Structures are given as C-alpha cells and as structure tokens.
Amino acid sequence: MSAISVRDLRKSYGAYEALRGISFEIQEGEVFGLLGPNGAGKTTTIEILEGYRTRDGGDIDVLGFDPERAGSAFRERIGVVLQHSQLWPNLTVAETHRMFAGYYEHPRNVDEVIALVGLDEKRTARVKTLSGGQKRRLDLGVALVGDPDLVFLDEPTTGFDPAARRAAWDMIRSLRSLGKTILLTTHYLDEAEQLADRLAVLRGGVIIREGTPSELTSGSSETEIRYRKDGQEVVIRTSEPTRLLQHLTAEAVAEGRELEGLSVRRPTLEDVYLSLTAEHQE
Amino acid sequence: MKLLRHQVKWEQRLFWRSRESAVFVFLFPILLFALLTAVYNGHIYGRPASWALLAGMIGYGTANTAFAGLAITLVSRREIGILKRIRATPLPPAVYLTAVLVSIMIVFAIQVASLFALGRVLKSTPWPSHLLSLVPALALGVAAFAALGLAITAFIRSLEGSSAVLNVIVLPMAFLTGSFGPTRHYPKVLRAIGDVLPLKYLLDLINGIYLQGQQLWDKPTAVAVLGGWGLFGMAVALRTFRWEPREG
C-alpha cells in the first residue's frame, strides 16, 4: 500500500514556479529520499505533504488524507522534523518529550523514545545546554513521541559534523526497522545513498530521475577509464569497457609501454547526480 | 478539555521558569508599585495616594502582562519555529492559543493579588470590595489587551526588537492614561491622546470600582470602549496572525 501518492503537484510563489508538476509514490515502510540542490523545491514539497502549504494543482494523498484539509486525526499519525526549528530552551529533554506526548492519543513511552534517539544521559539537561547535534536528536525524539506511521525529515543532518551524521544515520535506520515510512530531503548524496530505499532527484521544480540508488547509478551505462599517455591525462567514457580495455592494453603491450595511472571506475551516484543536474542547467 | 489542562500546566511551567518573563512581566509592576508608593504622599482623587497608585499599577500590569508579555512570548516562539512545530501536532490551534491566554490570566490574577497584599502590608490599602464588578472588569481588560497583543505580533518582525517596541507602546500609554498618577495637569494634547487609549478606560473602571465604590454597570462607556478595542484587536489578529517565522 502506498503511504504517500503525489500526482502532478504544482506550486507557484507569485511568478516563480517552485514545483512544475511532480509525481511520485512512497510505499508503506519505505525510506524515500528527495534529493536536490538548494531551491529545487524539496522543502516546498515536504511542507505541502505535511499540511503547511496549499498546492496550486495536482492530487495528493497522505495516509488517506488530503493534508490541506486534514485535522488532528492526520496529525496523530505523522511526525515532523522541520528544517529550522528550536524548542523551549528552559525545559529539560524529558519535559519537552512529555509535553509533546500529551498532544497524542497513544504516545510512545517517553523514556523509550529518549533512549532511541540517544539522549539518555541528557534526560534532565535543559535544552539550551545541548549541542547542535543533540538538539537535532531532540527534534527527532519529539517527532517520534506520538508513535507516527509516517515521519518527515527535512534535511535532518544539515550542519552536522561527520560523527553526528553517522549517529543520525544509524537512528534513521533504526526507524526503518520499526516499520515507519520515512520521507527525507537532503542535498547530501551520500546520505541519500546510505538511507533511502528509493529516491527522486528534484531540480528546478521537476523530478529528473527516480529509482533505487543502484538503479540510478546503473541506469547510466558509462564506465570511466583513465590513464596517462605522454604525460597527458586521457579520460574515456564507454559503454563497452571490456572491449575498449582489451584494445588499449593490447596496444600498450604491443608497443611495450605502460598505461600509467590506469583506473577503471563505475560512476558513483555523485557523478550521476552532477551530470543530471548539469544537463538540466543548460 | 484534557488537552487544554495539559497545555495550561506546561505554559505555567514555561512562564515561571523563564527568568525574563517572571521578572519583566510578573515582578516589574509590583516593584514599580513599591517604589511609587514610597515616594508619593498626600491624596489622589480624594483618596490616599497609595490607593490610586495601586489601582494604576493594576491597570499598567494588565497592559504589561496581557499585551506586552503575551506578544513577546508569541513573537519569540514564532521566530524560532515553535509555533510552526506545534501546528504539526494534533493539538488544535484554538486550544493552544486559549491555553496561552488562560496561563496569562493566571499570572495576572496572582499579580493582582500580590499587589493588593503588598499595598495592605506597606500602606494599609483596603482589600477590594465589589469583587463582582472588579473581577469582570479586569477580565475584560485582560481579554482586550490580549487581543491587541495577538494583533501586534504580526507587526513585530523580529525577536530582538520586540521588547523595545512593546515598551515604547506600553510605558507612554501607562503614563498618558494615568497609571502613574493623575493626568489632569497634563497639557491638553497629551490628555487628548490619552483619551483614545484603551488603558484609560480600564483605569476608569478600576478607579471607579476600587476608589469610588461604583459598580461595573455604572461605567457603560468605559466598558464599551474597552470592548471595542478588544474586538478591533481580535479582527486584526484574525487577519494577520502568523504561525511561521519570516522566510529566512
């Protein structure tokens, strides 16, 4: 069953078209990544699905609701981590969780949630004393305290140091193992590749590619071969790497020279992403 | 109802735990009263000065708590994204705002009780007599100023400026309408400005009831003007109130 279905979603701010008809489906229990550079329309999309913004056109269904008109019953079932938001500096971690837990019919156990997001040792610490990464974990804990079926994460690790990002990734993976559906936006490729079951690349308000991370990389059939000849770097992209390599190596062996600095590389998601976004820029 | 109780409880905890709100909103009018009664002697409106100052400080406290305090709280929560975050929970927006108002009223009730108690201790001011008039009058005042406080949040764009902007409104208003002493010797222009401000009419009610022993229904004009300001604030708030921070 699909948790989210979006068809031909459109949104303009004045004359600026932020979303120019995007469509995608997210299955229950899936981690779906919306990937794209700043200004691509990621936050607009996620905020329409959360019910913060109205749409100009298209059909959306989130857990059987139209978020634009949905009320408390919808909000019982979603958890939200906003891109920029803080919580009360003078409450403790545990108090903040308890306050939010009171808004839901069937909240999760507050101590369990605090343990899940790794803030055990900070239970009685005031929010203002937490580090940036810990505050983000608090945001996540508060998003989970209502035991949502669907969790929206808008750039959950932006501004993290590498260790904090790894920790956040582990946490998001543990959410998936709880069976939550997750919609995640990010402009970090490695994050999308690490976490998402499927992802859509958004650019200029349109989805330019969609699939699993490995589909996205294998969809591009090119392999890159690099070596140096007479001190010059040679880069060849080919869809027939075996034949080309045989030809190159045979030639080199026949001439009794070395293919210096030879490397054969499959494109990473980053290459695909950069080439995709570059193509569409032109 | 359960949600409302839950939220009021947490609003109270948030209020008293923040040193800024506890001192600036709750304590400030009480300190000001202690100061003013120490320096003013003689009579005002035919009563000992401390009685009139007590009434004036209750009026100032209403504007300070329900208008300035409420607006600062809401602007700061809006700008750091708390209001937006709350909107994503099942807590209905109306319940949330009601809880914020109820919490402010609780703070104000404790403030008024403290003022009367302090007046009693320092200057033997009398306890209020016509409670059936005084309580509704103060409730009307809190409601009207809270509505104006909701309305002004849309015009305060950042957290940094909010407390300055609000004090620039509240302090002169309190001065012009007679919170800190009678205005009859003020220049005509200043009195004319004072005459359109809502605090003037709330003070009219409080003075009438506490100093002159009148009842609420003896002052229909004051009730109407104060109610009118409240409705105006409500109408503006309904059109302009924002839950989200400025796009940054």
Q: What is the mean pLDDT of chain A?
A: 88
Residue B115 — pLDDT band, cuts 50, 70, 90? very high
Distance from CA of A41 to the nearest CA of B (A): 15
Tell me the Cα Rg of chain B: 18
Please report the number of interchain residue pairs, chain A to chain B, with beta-carbon separation below 8 angstroms.
Answer: 62
DSSP notation for A235-263: EEEES-HHHHHHHHHHHHHHTT---EEEE
Whether residues B14 and A88 touch (CB distance < 8 A) is answered with yes
Residues of chain B positioned with their CB less than 8 A from the CB of A86:
80-82
**Chain A contact probe: residue of B89, B100, B103 with most A CBs at under 10 A:** B89
Q: To the nearest 5 percent, what fractions of chain B are helix, strand and coil?
A: 80, 0, 20
Distance from C-alpha of A111 to C-alpha of A146, rounded to nearest angstrom: 13
Token pair for A274: 């950069």
- The total of other beta-carbon atoms located within 10 Å of residue B124's CB is 10
Strand A181-186 relative to strand A198-203: parallel, antiparallel, unpaired? unpaired
| pLDDT tens-digit map of B20-45 | 888 889 999 999 999 998 888 888 87
Q: Of A187, A250, A198, give the one whose Cα is nearest residue A40.
A: A187
Strand A78-81 relative to strand A206-211: parallel, antiparallel, unpaired? unpaired
- At residue B78, the pLDDT reads 94
Quickly tell me which residue has 């004009």 as its tokens.
Answer: B221
Distance from C-alpha of A47 to C-alpha of B141, rounded to nearest angstrom: 38
Which amino acid makes up residue A247? H
The answer to whether the CB of A9 falls within 8 A of the CB of A193 is: no
Q: Which of B14, B88, B89 sits opposite A90 (nearest CB)?
A: B14
Token pair for A172: 């998001």
| Number of residues in chain B | 248
- The total of other beta-carbon atoms located within 10 Å of residue A61's CB is 16
CB contact set of A23 (below 8 Å; sequence gap of 6+): A6, A7, A8, A9, A58, A207
Token pair for A120: 């055990």
Quickly tell me which residue has 């809401």 as its tokens.
Answer: B74
Q: Give me the interface pTM, i.e. the ipTM.
A: 0.89
User: Percent of chain A scored above 90 by pLDDT?
Assistant: 49
- The total of other beta-carbon atoms located within 10 Å of residue B129's CB is 11
Distance from C-alpha of B185 to C-alpha of B169, rounded to nearest angstrom: 22
Strand A78-81 relative to strand A260-265: parallel, antiparallel, unpaired? unpaired
CB contact set of B176 (below 8 Å; sequence gap of 6+): B183, B186, B190, B191, B193, B194, B197, B200
| pLDDT tens-digit map of B152-162 | 999 998 888 88
Residue B247 — pLDDT band, cuts 50, 70, 90? low
Backbone angles phi, psi at A58, to 5 degrees: 100, 170
Residue B59 — pLDDT band, cuts 50, 70, 90? very high
Mean of pLDDT values over A51-57: 93
Residues of chain A positioned with their CB less than 8 A from the CB of B17:
90-91
Whether residues A84 and B81 touch (CB distance < 8 A) is answered with yes
pLDDT over threshold 90, residue A165: no
* Residue in chain B lying closest to A101 (CA): B89
Token pair for B90: 């099942």
* Alpha-carbon separation of residue A107 from A91, A172, B69, B121 (angstroms): 19, 19, 32, 49
Whether residues B80 and A86 touch (CB distance < 8 A) is answered with yes
Q: Which of B3, B84, B90 sits opposite A76 (nearest CB)?
A: B90
| pLDDT tens-digit map of A139-158 | 999 999 999 999 999 988 87
Our measurement of the distance from residue B37's CA atom to the centroid of its chain's CA atoms, rounded to an integer in Å, reads: 20
Distance from CA of A70 to the nearest CA of B (A): 10
Q: What is the DSSP letter of A111?
A: H
Q: Which residues pair with B101 in a beta bridge?
A: none
- At residue A232, the pLDDT reads 84
Quickly tell me which residue has 């140096």 as its tokens.
Answer: A228
The answer to whether the CB of A57 falls within 8 A of the CB of A68 is: no
| pLDDT tens-digit map of B62-109 | 999 999 999 999 999 999 999 999 999 999 999 999 999 999 999 999
| pLDDT tens-digit map of A71-110 | 899 999 999 999 888 999 999 999 999 999 999 999 999 9
Which amino acid makes up residue B150? L
Distance from C-alpha of A151 to C-alpha of B2, rounded to nearest angstrom: 26
Whether residues B85 and A82 touch (CB distance < 8 A) is answered with yes
By mean pLDDT, which of A39-48, A113-122, A224-233, B125-134 is the weakest? A224-233
| pLDDT tens-digit map of A4-44 | 999 999 999 988 999 999 999 999 999 999 998 888 899 99
Q: How far apart are the first and last CA of chain A?
A: 38
The answer to whether the CB of B115 falls within 8 A of the CB of B54 is: yes
Quickly tell me which residue has 């009794």 as its tokens.
Answer: A256
| pLDDT tens-digit map of A211-240 | 888 777 765 567 888 888 888 888 887 888
Quickly tell me which residue has 């959410």 as its tokens.
Answer: A175
**Domain A2-217 listed as CATH 3.40.50.300:** yes
The DSSP element (H or E) to which B141 belongs, if any, is helix B131-153
Q: Which of B14, B80, B91 sits opposite A103 (nearest CB)?
A: B91
A103 vs A252, more confident: A103
Tell me the Cα Rg of chain A: 23
CB contact set of A148 (below 8 Å; sequence gap of 6+): A76, A77, A78, A79, A180
Distance from C-alpha of B122 to C-alpha of B33, rounded to nearest angstrom: 10
Token pair for B170: 């509240």
User: Percent of chain B scored above 70 by pLDDT?
Assistant: 99
Residue A282 — pLDDT band, cuts 50, 70, 90? very low
Distance from C-alpha of A140 to C-alpha of A82, rounded to nearest angstrom: 9
- At residue A218, the pLDDT reads 67
**Chain A contact probe: residue of B9, B85, B243 with most A CBs at under 10 A:** B85
Residues of chain B positioned with their CB less than 8 A from the CB of A91:
13-14, 17
Distance from C-alpha of B84 to C-alpha of A85, rounded to nearest angstrom: 8
Residues of chain A positioned with their CB less than 8 A from the CB of B85:
80, 82, 85, 87, 142
* Residue in chain B lying closest to A84 (CA): B81
Q: Of B158, B141, B57, give the one whose Cα is nearest residue B104.
A: B141
DSSP notation for A155-209: STTTT--HHHHHHHHHHHHHHHHTT-EEEEEES-HHHHHHH-SEEEEEETTEEEE
Q: Which of A85, A91, A104 sits opposite B84 (nearest CB)?
A: A85
Token pair for A97: 């969780």
